[in-house]
Amino acid sequence: MKKLRIFLYVIFLSYMGATLYMGLNVDIMIGRFGLLSFFSFFQKWLTYGNLFFVVLLISENIHIWFLKRRVIYAENERDDLIIRSNDLRRQLGEHKEKKQK
């Protein structure tokens, strides 16, 4: 999941770089492609970028959800181990008391 997120971030940063380039060079793009065709393309470009950003956010939230589940599992496992170690200490103490008597 971590490698997928890194890959998605690289794609998103490339997308943002291309968007920034197009935004800064609007005059050149309009001169090359025409006013209406460029704005039609740019509108679709931004729409797809927003959808990609939503996918990125969803994947990030899924990853966070999985990490939270792992933390809860580890905390429960830790609590079980603490209880077991306390039981073993109590049993060891009882065993030593029986041996001394």
Condensed to tens digits (0 to 9), the pLDDT of residues 34-57 reads 888 888 998 999 999 999 999 999
Structural domain boundaries, residue 30: 2-100
What is the pTM assigned to this prediction? Answer: 0.66
Q: How confident is the model at residue 6 (pLDDT cuts 50, 70, 90)?
A: confident
What pLDDT was estimated at residue 33?
Answer: 86
Structural domain count of the chain: 1
Distance CA(20)–CA(63), nearest Å, equals 29
